[in-house]
Structure 1
């Protein structure tokens, strides 16, 4: 049983490692396909990459959106949701026990559902469900990421507390500033990335750390069946 859990954990870690690169590469490639206007990471939202139609979008910050490769972005976002969720579920027991760890994992799992919602319902198709997805990612997900930073040091998750606290703090600060529509020198679109990217980037880093961890550390909470 120990070896099975160890193998499962490594698969989960690899899912986490893959999620962020897929999301970032798709964002870059889809953005490069824009012609008029040219896509701006400072001005445009991430969601603009997934909009299915061309036209003026967003009454609070009007901008022309036309993303010819939006299917790629939405497919990659859905793939990111699946990989992040799989990573969470496959490392569920490995990361530790207790109310803090479980609460953080639950909130982060809800955030993966947010990625799925924004992928399946682009903002110009169903704005309400899209906004709900964004709230799950930037609201509940980032609270969960910050909470994960307080996991007991005796748990596997708690061993990387500085990394997690830093990611959680940056994500929450970015969320507050984004919803306040404050670009602080990097634009509102740039600030959205400060709010959204810490979770997948943290998962990628943690996945690498977990994949390099020896078996005893990965299965410290497993029940080993005597032979």
Structure 2
């Protein structure tokens, strides 16, 4: 039963980010006006109304598939929370891991909030969602680098440290409006999708660990006669 839970956890952690990335691509391709990865942020894809936005970078926003993007964001958040909950037995091995799990789950809740409250419908709630994703969630990513040795999280320590560095710097540049050469949209994507890629790698590592465990031969019984 425990093994099945971890397989489901791995699947949720992989499918959630991948389907959200796919929804981003499909929603971008549906635009009749040019969509820029540097000058348009992810939230533009979920905006309900067609209008000119003046926040930071003036641009015309009209996303025909905003419902797809927002539904995908909610689904991503739900799957991340489910994946973390099902794998919580691994995170609870230390208080740092348990705290990291909670913060990452809060980041998942940010996807749900951002999807339910598009930026042009309720900007305040949408910003709270974005902060949970890129602020709180990325803090959880940083703490997961301190996972104990001997579990699937520790095996990703080097990748986790690298992903944390990229995500934290990108989050800082995005919220401070110091976008740099990647622009407003580029900095947001590095802050968000770096952690999402880490989730996919984490899920794949969990799945590999479970396959490896199930393929081990059973321990021979000991005859005490």
- Same fold at TM > 0.5: yes
User: Which of 8, 11, 14 lines up with 2:5 in the alignment?
Assistant: 8
User: Which of 39, 43, 49 lines up with 2:39 in the alignment?
Assistant: 43
Q: Does 1:191 align with 2:191?
A: no
Q: Does 1:24 align with 2:15?
A: no
User: If the length of structure 1 is used for normalisation, what is the TM-score?
Assistant: 0.89
Give the C-alpha shift of residue 134 in structure 1. 0.4
CA contact (8 A) 1:16 1:84 kept: yes
2:52 is paired with a residue of what secondary structure? strand
Distance 1:123 1:214, change over 3 A: closer
2:60 is paired with a residue of what secondary structure? strand
Q: Which residue of 2 aligns with 1:143?
A: 139
Question: What does 1:45-84 align with in structure 2 at a 5 Å threshold?
Answer: 45-84=41-80
1:213 is paired with a residue of what secondary structure? helix
Q: Where do 5+ consecutive residues of structure 1 fail to align?
A: 219-227
Distance 1:157 1:146 in 2: 12
Q: Which residue of 1 aligns with 2:83?
A: 87
1:94 is paired with a residue of what secondary structure? helix
Question: What does 1:132-171 align with in structure 2 at a 5 Å threshold?
Answer: 132-171=128-167
Distance 1:24 1:216, change over 3 A: closer
Instruction: After superposition, give the CA deviation of every residue in 1:161-217 in whole Å (9 maximum; x if it has no partner).
Output: 112111112111110111122333222101100001122211111111111114686
Give the length in aligned residue pairs: 214
Q: CA RMSD in A?
A: 1.6
Q: Which residue of 2 aligns with 1:105?
A: 101
User: If the length of structure 2 is used for normalisation, what is the TM-score?
Assistant: 0.90
Distance 2:149 2:194 in 1: 21
Q: Which residue of 2 aligns with 1:126?
A: 122
Distance 1:217 1:142, change over 3 A: farther
Q: Where do 5+ consecutive residues of structure 2 fail to align?
A: 215-225
